[in-house]
Amino acid sequence: QVQLVESGGGLVQAGGSLRLSCAASGSFFSINVMSWYRRAPGKQRELVAAATRGGSTNYADSVKGRFTISRDNAKNTVDLQMNTLKPEDTAVYYCYAALRRGGMAPQEQHWGQGTQVTVSS
């Protein structure tokens, strides 16, 4: 079994900061991509930020310059530092991992349970 456990959500005023953390545990060979997605009320899930095993990152335009994704391959963790938060950042944030259980195994997608981030105006 693979588990992604998120932490760090909460309520913050506009302009404030939060840090989300996600730890992957279980039996797997390697994690290719670790990402953060979010789903706001009434909206579709969207990619917020992603980090590959090799260190490449990409961000949604709406969070560029405010959010930073960081990954620790040795610990199988990924963090999302969120600064200058805006009310429109309010959403449930989900950790995502694309991984392989073996060197030749197919890639699998796994999701965390989600953590609520609420930004008040």
pLDDT tens digits in sequence order for the chain, 121 residues long: 899 999 999 999 999 999 999 999 999 999 999 999 999 999 999 999 999 999 999 999 999 999 999 999 999 999 999 999 999 999 999 999 999 998 888 999 999 999 999 999 9
Question: What one-character-per-residue DSSP string does 11-77 give?
Answer: EEETT--EEEEEEEEES-SEEEEEEEEEE-TTS--EEEEEEETTS-EEE-GGGTTTEEEEEETTTTE
Predicted pLDDT at 66:
98
Please state, in angstroms and rounded to a whole number, the distance separating the CA atoms of residues 100 and 108: 6
